[in-house]
Amino acid sequence: MKKIEIYDTTLRDGAQSEGINFSVSDKLKIIKKLDALGVDFIEAGWPGANPLDSEIFDKLDEIELQNSKIVAFGSTRKPNVKAESDNVLINLANSKAKIITIFGKSWDFHVKEALNTTLDENLSMIDESIKFLISRGKEVFFDAEHFFDGYKDNKDYSLEVLKVAHKAGAKRLILCDTNGGSMNNNIYKVFFELQNVLPDALFGIHAHNDSDLATANSLAAVDGGAVQVQGTINGYGERCGNANLCSIIPTLQLKRGYELLGEKIVMLVETAKQIAEIANKSLNPNLPYVGSSAFAHKAGVHASGVRKNSQTYEHINPELIGNERRFLVSTQAGNASVKEKAKNFRFIKIENDDEIKKIISRIKQLEWQGFAFEGADASFEILVMDTLNKKPELFELLGFRVIGDTALIDSQGKCVNSTITEASVKIKINGEIIHTVSEGDGPVNALDIALRKALFEKYPSVKNFKLSDFKVRILDSKDGTAAKVRVSIESTDGRNKWDTVGVSENIIAASYNAIADSILYGLILQGA
């Protein structure tokens, strides 16, 4: 089984993604996650380029790695400067990283236009930089920047760049599709040709996704002989991103039979989620392999087929990479979808097909009104309980009122604060009517507090419930401010998480219904 090296550059190239700003703490956490996953190389940053990256390399001694090797990134020396006097190379040589990746120009156009130097001087820069770092005890990887564009325009010069880097002692020659415009058939052709030009060299690929081909190009490079693939978790990176390791790793290991992560591949989804959380990004649900929708089935025909044999509509077993199969309930749902969804119910069991027909009919009626239960499992289970007359009557909602007062207006005429939002709720528990009033930061918070206050004496566990996410979706924008809205809430008691939904033309009413479902489900979880 051939080994393919995984080189992660989430902390350097991925950090250049719009909206991502890693702190030192963030980078250290990600290094530990990647090491636990088992990637071969972790590019931690560019020593000396900024204080943050310098601090990362100063703290390397604090990290005990089990599987990965830390790599420092930088460039060749500047034109007409001695290697031993170049600040970039000095910082790389003084870093605690034992492996250094330096990039150099392999496109004659860039040498002349970006570096403003001669082609011969560029070759000297590459040669002397690699030799200097090796003399300081470093192992060197060479990134041939813009290689495929250079190969197309001036093949002989691009090849000379690789030959110089190889002769100087670079352990890996990485061909970079820096602008992300190459096609996978051309990538394969170039790698295949290079096997004859430099038969004893070891090649890698560094692809960008500007043509949505970074994954395909990386796979083509491996087919052509590459032994190393560079990329980022979740495809983070500048512009359209880098090659997505979360797609490349399972494809190479599970479908091509290469050695990459071994049994640790089951940690892939969790790692993708954790790094997305650290990056303060929502994990795209439609990402192949690791997205929450990657193995989600909505159409009744699909659900029925998967229920009989998962291979009917799934290309791999999701459990192999730590994902899970999901069955969505909607107007397109059939009996199979509801049956599969019901397997995960905690508090109710569907007994027969007549009950399923009732549930599907209720789903279609509510979705016509704007409800969506795909991401609201708790509300869906409560719906099933209610439809089958098995819903626990822990409390009954009788009404609510919200009053806002003393709004502060700034010099632009905009509301900047509402100092008082008061909410009152009326509920019934065991025949007793309870009426409470509370204040909060806005109407939703005030309602939430008032409802919990009304329930606390009978159900003190409500104090443990917390709203961990709150989303509002306008369902029909043409109605303007009178449009229906759908409010989705994620709640937690510190151990469990559950999702609920509410719909109304009144955003406060929609919120209140979602909150009420959330509290009801939480109480059922607590055994009330």
In DSSP notation, 445-500 reads HHHHHHHHHHHHTT-GGGGG-EEEEEEEEES-GGGGGGS-EEEEEEEESSS-EEEE
- Among the residue ranges 39-48, 174-183, 212-221, 432-441, the one predicted with the least confidence is 432-441
In the chain, pLDDT over 70 holds for what percent of residues?
Answer: 85
- pLDDT of residue 418 exceeding 60, the answer is no
Over the stretch 236-287, which tens digit does the pLDDT of each residue have?
999 999 999 999 999 999 999 999 999 999 999 999 988 988 887 878 888 9
* Domain boundaries of the chain, sorted by first residue: 5-278, 296-387, 396-525
Are β-strands 466-474 and 432-439 bridged in parallel, bridged antiparallel, or unpaired? Answer: unpaired
CB 141 within 8 A of CB 169: no
* H or E element that contains 181: none
Domain 396-525 fold is Double Stranded RNA Binding Domain (3.30.160)
Instruction: Give 351-380 pLDDT, tens digit per residue.
Output: 677 777 777 777 776 766 666 665 567 777
pLDDT at 339 (0 to 100): 65
- pLDDT of residue 341 exceeding 80, the answer is no
Lowest mean pLDDT among 79-88, 198-207, 480-489, 492-501: 480-489
Element holding 118 (H helix, E strand): none
- 236, 204, 171: which is closest to 20 by C-alpha? 236
Q: Which of 204, 248, 246, 249 is nearest to 224 (CA)?
A: 204
Rg (CA), the chain: 29
What number is the average pLDDT over the span 75-98?
Answer: 94
Query: 354 versus 126: which is more confidently predicted?
Result: 126
Percent of the chain at pLDDT > 90 equals 47
0.75 cut: is pTM over it? no
Q: Using CA atoms, how far apart are residues 368 and 389, in angstroms rounded to an integer?
A: 22
Tell me the one-letter amino acid at 208.
H
Contacts of 60 (CB under 8 A, 6+ apart): 44, 70, 96, 97
Averaged confidence pLDDT in the chain: 86
Q: Tell me the pairing of strands 228-231 and 296-297.
A: unpaired
Q: In the predicted model, what is the mean pLDDT of residues 121-142?
A: 97
Which of the pair, 263 or 467, is modelled with greater confidence?
Answer: 263
Query: HEC profile for 210-240?
Result: CCCCHHHHHHHHHHCCCCEEEEEHHHCCCCC
Q: Within 10 A of 368 (CB to CB), how many other CB atoms are there?
A: 9
DSSP three-state, residue 10: coil
- Amino acid residing at 382: I
Q: What is the mean pLDDT of residues 434-438?
A: 91
Nearest to 206 by CA among 248, 171, 168, 167: 248
Per-residue tokens: 64: 């005990």
Q: Is the pLDDT of residue 308 over 60?
A: no
pLDDT in tens, 224-234: 999 999 999 99
Q: Dump strand ranges (E) for 151-257.
A: 172-177, 203-207, 228-231
Position with higher pLDDT, 3 vs 342:
3
**Residue linked to tokens 């071969």:** 40
Asked if pLDDT for residue 150 goes beyond 90, the answer is yes
Average pLDDT value for residue range 436-458: 87
- Give φ, ψ of 166 to 5 degrees: -65, -45
Sign of CA dihedral 52, 53, 54, 60: positive
> H/E element holding 250?
helix 245-250
Contacts of 91 (CB under 8 A, 6+ apart): 47, 48, 54, 74
Range picked from 188-192, 382-386, 412-416 for highest mean pLDDT: 188-192
Assign a CATH topology to domain 5-278: TIM Barrel (3.20.20)
The CA distance from 34 to 13, in Å, is 15
Task: Give the number of other CB atoms < 10 A from CB of residue 476.
Answer: 12
Is residue 417 predicted with pLDDT exceeding 70?
Answer: no
Residues with active-site annotation: 302
**Looking at per-residue confidence, does 216 or 397 come out higher?**
216
- pLDDT over 60 (residue 36): yes
Choose between 506 and 39: higher pLDDT.
39
**Same fold for the pair 5-278 and 396-525:** no
Calpha distance 202→228 (Å, rounded)? 8
- Taking Cα atoms as reference points, which of 144, 225, 138, 214 lies closest to residue 183? 214
